[in-house]
Amino acid sequence: MKKRNGFSWLLLPLSILIFLAFALFIERSGISYTVSQNPSSFLSPLPTITNTNIEGISAAKPKCLVLFDSESGLKKGSFDTVLATLESMKVPHTEINVSQSSRIRFEDYETVILTFVQLSRIDDQIDELLFWVENGGKLLFAIRPDNTAALSGIYPQLGITALGPGLIKANGVEFLTKLLPGTAGMQFGESFINHTSLPVDLDESVKLHLISSDILGLPILWQTELGNGKVVFINSDQFINKSSRGLIGAAYSLLQDVVIYPVINASVFYIDDFPAPIPEGKNDAIFRQFTRDIESFYLNVWWPDMQDIKDKYNLKYSTVIIETYEHKLEPPFEYTAGQEDLLKYYGGIVLRDGGEIGLHGFNHVPLCLEEDGINQVLDYPTWPSIRNMKQSVIELQQFGSSMFPEQPFTMYVPVSNILCPDARKWLPEILSDLKVIASVYLPYEDVPAYIQEFTEAEDGIVEFPRIVAGYDPDNFMQWTAANEIWLHYTAGHFVHPDDVLDSYRNQGSTWTGLRDALDKYLLWVYSSMPSVRNLTASEGAMAVQRFVRLSPDYECSNTQCNVTLSGFYDEGWLLMRTEKIPSEITNGAFTQVAPNLYLIEANAPDMLIGFEE
């Protein structure tokens, strides 16, 4: 009998290994994808207009009066926050300085907002103000007043049954209602909201929305009726900055039977420094948990987990590329990392799945000169010339185009969210496809970041700030997110891949812990924002254009609201807060997103909203 070959048993496993190697080669060499020049299937960029403010403000006569005190610089933040909130909500308003006005005609307005603490400034008209409320006026205390004789004479009319002496310290807030979507029962600010408040007891008839989250449980925000009018009272001096605008807007909305205001309706998720060169070697924490080097961890653990999160929440990743982490500031600028196949692999999947790739930096050095005095704050080197900065940006764009030739680079994220004024001016000249800059919404302590509003700049670039950062957002970030859900119905989140490797940024958490924390946070976000649209950064920019230019004017009866939208193009999104129950809508659709809060999609500039009788 013929003897069999002793190595034939190797053929099957060898064939499998060859197949896997070939598949890995194909995968790592990049995957096929297609990119539309207009990545949004439902929006197109709007033509640039010379003055977005003109188009975005209603011509209606202001029915809201904001009173401020120019001589009280201590709490000027209240006035600034109220104005920014009303402007975002497109509420026509008038401002009067109580330090310079002789007499205020309350009867000319439907709503009055107080943004100062010294009621003695209007002591001669305080009774007139309360009489106006009793006859149907609506009054918001956007900041608690000082505990003086002026308050002692009127506090029973504000829902207060007992007023103790002086002021009292209290910490944090606890939501008793869903005043902001997704917040009922939640606590915020034990470490960053430090009230100086009035020691009060309230009448049983008031509706209490917020109390302090400490042992005092002090009333912080309530609403009450006074005759035919309404009063909303904020018993705090802490809601005076950008992170609290949503709360101010929600407090204002409590005064109205119906309030309708435009929103963006967008959730954008960014991954900074990606694709980018991956560090070689091992990270001790990663190796202990996964027995992998850094490159293998990202390829086989981090990226599959990020894909699972994307699929779970239907995200579209907006990523921004870095060529090198070397601080090379003199030409020639060129790619030297040698990981082209890996970068193409990651980027190809982002584009295949409907995401977007934007530009971050040739290197990780902000675009600032030495005389700007900015880079030095974070120990970055400074660029020797504007010419060198421009050449590095040109190289970055050319590199990106060589890697992803079908991808238009319309989005830029500043390195470390730092962008000096001169670079902001010339950047659109160098990047001809640039449509949106995405930096940050809130100022960082001791960091000179490029702070943005959701708006269109004069040069036509859309400013689309990111709101929340990190895999495990802290309580302050979640507070800010809750406010922005109410004010703009938007979420802008970003992470860095190397947060996992940095013990300071990950606070000692393992990747598993960070992944689970991100999943928990996103679950809260999407539970709080029903029907929110997951968009790329460029799609979000198109949504911001429509938001900025849209201005509602509406007249309401007990049974319906007639809504006219100036600055309407092809679609509009609005939020409506009302205790009425909407039953029908023409030229639109509505979705309830929280008690008394409805997301409206407008399909035409005129809408009719009917309510149940």
Tell me if 364 sits within 8 A of 400, measured CB to CB.
no
**Tens of pLDDT along 573-600?**
999 999 999 999 999 999 999 999 999 9
In the chain, the amino acid numbered 315 is: L
- The domain spans of the chain are 52-262, 266-543, 550-611
DSSP state of 378: G
Tell me if 455 sits within 8 A of 548, measured CB to CB.
yes
CA distance 595 to 408: 41
Averaged pLDDT in 10-residue chunks for the chain of 613 residues: 48 50 44 50 75 51 94 80 98 94 92 96 95 98 96 97 98 97 97 97 98 98 98 97 98 98 98 95 94 97 98 98 96 92 96 97 98 96 98 98 93 98 97 97 91 97 97 97 98 96 88 97 97 97 97 96 97 97 97 96 98 93
pLDDT at 497: 96
Fold adopted by 52-262? Rossmann fold (3.40.50)
**Tens of pLDDT along 484-506?**
999 999 999 999 999 999 888 88
Tell me if 28 sits within 8 A of 341, measured CB to CB.
yes
Residues 6 or more apart whose CB falls under 8 angstroms from that of 217 comprise 174, 211
**Tens of pLDDT along 524-565?**
999 999 999 999 999 999 999 999 999 999 999 999 999 999
Q: How many CB atoms lie within 10 A of CB 46?
A: 18
**Tens of pLDDT along 67-91?**
999 987 656 899 999 999 999 999 9
Decide if domain 266-543 falls under CATH 3.20.20.370.
Answer: yes
Residue 241: exposed, middle, or buried by beta-carbon count in 10 A (0-12, 13-18, 19+)? middle
